[in-house]
Structure 1
Amino acid sequence: MKNKLNILLLTSFLLAVAIYFWASALHSKQVGDIPFDLSVDNSEFVVCDEEYIVQYYSAGTYYKGGEKAIKTELRELITQLNFEKSGIITFRFVVNCNNQIGRFRTKMVNENLKPTSFRYSNIKQMQETIKNLKDWHAGKWNNQPLDTYYNLSFKIQNGKITDIF
């Protein structure tokens, strides 16, 4: 009886240790994290807490006026750019606790959701236009502003931007 109890306790302990390390690994490296990269990021853009950047939807990060205001401010970009194919371009970036944006990363897929690429000059112009959006509001937790990730996606059809979401 004592042997069975010892085996049960040892098994429980090992299981608890495994769960702890698994949970630690999940917490420390989230899919989509954007670590600072000197080769592409502006060193003047700083986050308030490098270890704690959350998703925008869990913290209430927003742009003043919402999606409608973003579309209105990007209207010129929408009508100006021409693309060689259809697909979706997603910009993922950080809105820091001071309402500034930076650390841009881009993902591009074709209409079949397969990875693709678009003309670099168009991507650069889109990113610079997004950087000019100035009414970001950082998310909050316990009434304290914090750093959050944000996504803006552009749907391209027949060479033109048809939607921003």
Structure 2
Amino acid sequence: MKNKLNILLLSSFVLALTLAVWVYYQTTHRIGDIAFDENIDNSEFIVCNEDRITQYYSVETYYQGGEKTIKNELNKLINNLSFNESGFITFRFIVNCENSVGRFRVKMVNSDLKENSFKSNNIKQIQESIKRLKGWQAGKWKDESLDSYYVLNFKIENGKIVDIF
């Protein structure tokens, strides 16, 4: 009887320890976090709570006028860009609790979804154009403005941007 009780207690302890380690790892290592990088990020862009940056869809971060307004405003700023091939450019960034944007990260793929690089001048111009947009609205939870991640994708066909989503 003692042996069975010891095995049960040991199994319970191992299970509880495993669960505690897993929960700790999940809360401290979120995939997709954008940590500050002094080599590429503007030190003047400040987030309100470094430990609590949510996804835009969970706190309803948005742009005044919606996606249609984003497309119209960006198209005015970047309509003269031309690219050497087709593909997708994804910009991921933070909208902070003060409605500013920063900490941009870029991912580029070709039409076959293989990693790619487009002209760096074009990428910089798109990023600067996103920064110039002034209608960002931070997400809220219980009337508190929160920092959140946001994503904009650019579809390129035949050297031109054909969609922003």
Indicate the TM-score class for this superposition, using the shorter chain for normalisation: over 0.9
AA aligned to 1:5 is L
**Residue of structure 1 in register with 2:93 after alignment:** 93
Structure 2 Cα separation of the partners of residues 78 and 161 of structure 1 = 9
Which runs of no fewer than 5 residues in structure 1 stay unpaired? none
Question: Do structure 1's residue 123 and structure 2's residue 123 form an aligned pair?
Answer: yes
- Does the aligned pair in 1 maintain the 2:56–2:139 contact within 8 Å? yes
**Residue of structure 2 in register with 1:105 after alignment:** 105
AA aligned to 1:34 is I
- Does the aligned pair in 1 maintain the 2:78–2:125 contact within 8 Å? no
Structure 1 Cα separation of the partners of residues 112 and 131 of structure 2 = 29
The 10-residue stretch of structure 1 (7-16 or 66-75) with the greater mean CA deviation from structure 2: 7-16
**Residue of structure 2 in register with 1:17 after alignment:** 17
Structure 2 Cα separation of the partners of residues 64 and 5 of structure 1 = 62
- Does the aligned pair in 2 maintain the 1:62–1:136 contact within 8 Å? yes
TM-superposed deviation, 1:78 = 4.5
**Residue of structure 2 in register with 1:49 after alignment:** 49
**Residue of structure 1 in register with 2:147 after alignment:** 147
SS of match in other structure, 1:44: coil
TM-superposed deviation, 1:112 = 1.1
**Residue of structure 1 in register with 2:31 after alignment:** 31
Deviation >6 Å, runs of 4+? none
Which runs of no fewer than 5 residues in structure 2 stay unpaired? none
TM-superposed deviation, 1:2 = 2.2
> Identity percentage over the alignment?
61
**Residue of structure 1 in register with 2:76 after alignment:** 76
What RMSD in Å do the two structures reach over aligned CA positions? 0.9
